[in-house]
């Protein structure tokens, strides 16, 4: 699994941090960063990504396919 954060899109809601506090944190600008790629179970990390109101967390599977947000 690979995680990307679109830092331009992040609006500092921090719901990702609330759901996966060992994986995401806010930097000193209040923008999400990855703290530890393996901080939480993949299911929790996916839930955190789904909680982001602006879809700023992009998740890819090991084959490089985008899992979240779902492609239209």
Residue ranges binding ligand SF4 (CB under 6 A): 5, 10-16, 32, 51-52, 54, 56-57
Please, what is the minimum distance in Å from the beta carbon of residue 34 to ligand SF4? Answer: 10
Dihedral of alpha carbons 1, 35, 24, 36, sign: positive
Residue 5 or 59 with smaller CB distance to ligand SF4? 5
Burial of 64 (0-12, 13-18, 19+ CB in 10 A): exposed
Please, what is the minimum distance in Å from the beta carbon of residue 29 to ligand SF4? Answer: 11
Please, what is the minimum distance in Å from the beta carbon of residue 55 to ligand SF4? Answer: 8
Residue 8 or 63 with smaller CB distance to ligand SF4? 8
31 and 10 Cβ atoms separated by less than 8 Å: yes
């Amino acid at each position: 699994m690979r995680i990307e954060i679109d830092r331009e899109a992040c609006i500092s809601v921090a719901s990702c941090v609330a759901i996966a506090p060992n994986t995401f944190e806010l930097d000193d600008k209040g923008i999400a960063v990855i703290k530890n790629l393996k901080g939480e179970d993949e299911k929790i990390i996916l839930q955190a990504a789904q909680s982001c109101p602006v879809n700023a967390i992009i998740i890819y599977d090991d084959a490089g396919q985008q899992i979240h947000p779902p492609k239209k």
